[in-house]
Amino acid sequence: MPLNRAADVAAVGSYFTVNNVATGVATAAAPTSYSDTAPFLTIQNLGTTQRSIYLDWWRFYCTVAGTGGVALFLKLQLDRIAPTGGTLLVPSSSNTNDFTGSNAAVRLQPTGIAITSAARIVVGNQWVIPTQTAVFTVNTEVGIKFGGVDGYATTQLAAAAAGLTRTQAQMPPVVIAPGWCLQVPFIMTSQSAASTWAHELGWVEY
């Protein structure tokens, strides 16, 4: 992937975004341990040629509060798997001169697949919403930047007591080659009834 600005990448027709138009998708009721078979999100590269997916950013926010959720952890793993079900999102190029389709199948709350021997654990455990003293409220938001130059960390931008928080996280570069899938198991500490979340993502295919 060329290491230049996103606008320059978009100009050659290889930049894609996807979202579910602020429609929340419900989590499992009590995701209190990592589960490969009930992930938060998956991104599968359906391509058959050497065109990889380079993740740029991911943001997601709560649309309906659940019961008891006070912290969020994510795990990122690349594997040769093909998840099914969930809510399948349809990517589009942000360049209106580009009519090339994306190779990405982005699924929210899909039926995942147990990790295989091919798996690569990109992030073993990242605390993306630090523990709150109140349940997640509507508009609690996380923004993630992949492969940034600012290191690998999470910054909390609101008081823990508020329940509503906005955090920014840096994660390593993630490249999804044809036939591979990024699977994101998650933990919502203390949650006992589902919350719903809307998602937006951007990436380059090259």
Mean pLDDT by 10 residues, the chain (206 residues): 61 86 95 97 93 96 94 97 97 88 96 97 94 89 86 57 78 96 97 97 94
pLDDT value for 156: 58
Please indicate, yes or no, if residue 130 is contained in any of the structural domains: yes
Please indicate, yes or no, if residue 156 is contained in any of the structural domains: yes
Residue 108 · residue 41 · CB < 8 Å: yes
Count of domains observed in the chain: 1
Boundaries of domain holding 43: 23-88+108-199
Please indicate, yes or no, if residue 185 is contained in any of the structural domains: yes
Residue 191 · residue 32 · CB < 8 Å: yes
Please indicate, yes or no, if residue 144 is contained in any of the structural domains: yes
pTM equals 0.91
User: For 149-156, which contacts have Cβ atoms below 8 Å and span 24 or more sequence positions?
Assistant: 154/126, 154/127, 154/128, 154/130, 156/130
Please indicate, yes or no, if residue 95 is contained in any of the structural domains: no
196/159 Cα distance (integer angstroms): 22
Please indicate, yes or no, if residue 65 is contained in any of the structural domains: yes
Please indicate, yes or no, if residue 170 is contained in any of the structural domains: yes
Residue 43 DSSP SS3: strand
Say if strands 196-205 and 71-79 run parallel, antiparallel, or are unpaired: unpaired
pLDDT value for 13: 66
Residue 10 DSSP SS3: helix
